[in-house]
């Protein structure tokens, strides 16, 4: 396997523990260089999230909104391909056009589709587990979101549901992060296969756990803050994380020969 296909991680010593803050700063600079496309991308992401939330509410399934929001957030790396393309074009000095961002020409489309399938499978698995936990701890009785919130925060069964759900959901989220943290921008940027990209992403988390887990924590906090503002903050948070993810990829993986 040639170096152009097999991504090589840069030396561990070259990545400091506070590197994620530098990725955020670089991502912010990318947003400032392409504000219309970046913020437009964020607004589109918010619109999709609001449509999903509104659909569940109108269907009388408001208690499923937290699970849907979590799943939506975990699918973010796959939905941020256009943001990676903006940063890539900024690096290359290439022109920015809406059609190039919406219809990104990835270097490894088949590999990207396979990683997307894995993420979707993991999200479906999480949704099934969440529904099973709901049925077990709530005794199968459906309740609206307001009643479910009171149940989850004030009853022993509700607190147990939160604890178990958080542990399982956290494990699934960590798995998705490990698989997608670098693999998606890598598949967009170079010709390689999905298994090499996934292995490289997992190896980065394994060999550089300090900065990578800090990066995962920062993403989680920013996404939570975005949702806490009723999705409005995500119009800024999502493109910021997308651009910063590209900067993380460029900082961790050696360029192609």
Reported as a single tens digit per residue, the pLDDT across 34-78 is 999 999 999 998 898 888 888 878 877 676 777 777 777 778 888
- Given a contact cutoff of 8 angstroms between Cβ atoms, the answer to whether 62 and 162 are in contact is no
pLDDT band for position 12 (50/70/90)?
low
- Classify 135 as helix, strand or coil: helix
CA distance 33 to 49: 26
pLDDT at residue 227, rounded to an integer = 81
* Backbone torsions φ then ψ of 253, nearest 5 degrees: -105, 135
Q: Which residues contact 129 (CB under 8 A, 6 or more apart)?
A: 168, 172
- Given a contact cutoff of 8 angstroms between Cβ atoms, the answer to whether 88 and 190 are in contact is no
Q: Measure the CA angle with vertex 51, ends 49 and 53; round to 5°.
A: 70
For the stretch 160-208, pLDDT in tens is 888 988 888 889 889 999 999 999 999 999 888 999 999 999 999 999 9
CA distance 51 to 59: 12
């Amino acid at each position: 396997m040639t170096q152009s296909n097999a991504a090589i991680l840069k030396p561990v010593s070259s990545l400091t523990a506070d590197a994620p803050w530098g990725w955020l700063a670089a991502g912010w600079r990318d947003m400032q260089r392409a504000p219309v496309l970046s913020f437009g991308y964020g607004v589109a992401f918010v619109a999709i999230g609001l449509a999903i939330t509104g659909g569940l509410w109108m269907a009388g399934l408001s208690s499923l909104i937290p699970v849907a929001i979590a799943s939506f957030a975990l699918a973010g790396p796959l939905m941020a391909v256009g943001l990676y393309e903006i940063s890539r074009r900024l690096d290359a000095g290439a022109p920015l056009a809406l059609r190039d961002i919406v219809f990104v020409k990835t270097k490894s489309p088949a590999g990207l589709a396979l990683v997307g399938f894995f993420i979707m499978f993991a999200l479906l698995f999480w949704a099934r587990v969440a529904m099973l936990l709901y049925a077990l701890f709530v005794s199968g009785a459906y309740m609206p979101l307001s009643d479910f919130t009171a149940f989850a925060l004030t009853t022993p069964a509700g607190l147990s549901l939160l604890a178990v759900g958080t542990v399982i959901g956290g494990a699934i989220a960590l798995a998705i992060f490990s698989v997608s943290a670098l693999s998606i921008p890598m598949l967009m940027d170079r010709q390689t296969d999905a298994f090499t990209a996934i292995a490289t992403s997992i190896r980065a988390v394994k060999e550089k756990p300090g900065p990578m887990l800090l990066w995962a924590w920062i993403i989680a906090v920013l996404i939570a803050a975005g949702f806490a503002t009723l999705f409005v903050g995500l119009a800024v948070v999502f493109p910021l994380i997308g651009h910063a993810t590209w900067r993380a990829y460029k900082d961790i993986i050696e360029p192609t020969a």
